[in-house]
Amino acid sequence: MPYIYYARSLTSAYPAFLTHLVKDLTGIGASFAENGSPERGCLLISHNGESGILRVMRRGADIEVTYAPEGRNTSAKKSPLCLLIDEKVGDIDAEMKALLEEGEVLPAAETGGPDDEDQIRQSLEEMYQELLTVHEEINHLREEEQDVSRPERRAKRAHQLYEEAVFELEKRHTPVARAKARAMQIMIEKAEASLGEIGE
């Protein structure tokens, strides 16, 4: 039985969603065969000896992601690669929804007032401190030889979003900076949730 995930109401962001997913999966060591059809959302993927077909398709207003591992009779959801795909798809879904809801769809030239910028800057600094605490917990658990790969990936993405938000603030693109800050908060929350799952 294949894995299926629906990113609701994101079909307008399909190209960015697909690009983000491929980049993130490649970043954690997955590879894609050249004989796939990436332009149609059909990808042959492999990671640590497991391979299968990953499809990312538009379904009305939604994006449908399916994964079927090769040579498995059991549910795809139990495969190691599927767990990574599920993590990345869920994270990208949440991040892109935050970006859209907070206004990244607005033209980048739009700016906010000094009060807006100060508020975003303050929020970013508070979240950065929260992120440092997450990193400390990750390092502590790593010393105890726990698997911290999932919270570490999410913390790394949160840090990237922090840097992107600061960059947009410097350019006075306040709506985009606010959207990046919101997405950063979601990634921190996901990293914290992943830390809470370790040892359960």
Residue 15: CA count within 13 A, CB half-sphere: 1
What pTM was computed for the model? 0.83
Q: Please write the tens of the pLDDT for every residue from 122-176.
A: 999 999 999 999 999 999 999 999 999 999 999 999 999 999 999 999 999 888 8
pLDDT band at 106 (very low <50, low <70, confident <90, very high): very low
Domain ranges of the chain: 3-76, 102-197
Is 110's pLDDT higher than 60?
A: no
Is 199's pLDDT higher than 90?
A: no
What's the average model confidence in pLDDT over 8-37?
Answer: 89
- Top-confidence residue, 164 or 109: 164
Best CA proximity match to 29, nearest among 69, 88, 77: 88
pLDDT band at 33 (very low <50, low <70, confident <90, very high): confident
Is 116's pLDDT higher than 90?
A: no
Is 105's pLDDT higher than 50?
A: no
pLDDT value of position 108: 39
Rounded distance between C-alpha atoms, residue 188 and residue 168, angstroms = 20
Q: Where are the alpha helices (DSSP H) in the chain?
A: 14-27, 80-101, 114-143, 149-170, 174-197
pLDDT value of position 187: 96
Residue 159: CA count within 13 A, CB half-sphere: 12
Is 104's pLDDT higher than 60?
A: no
Is 74's pLDDT higher than 90?
A: no
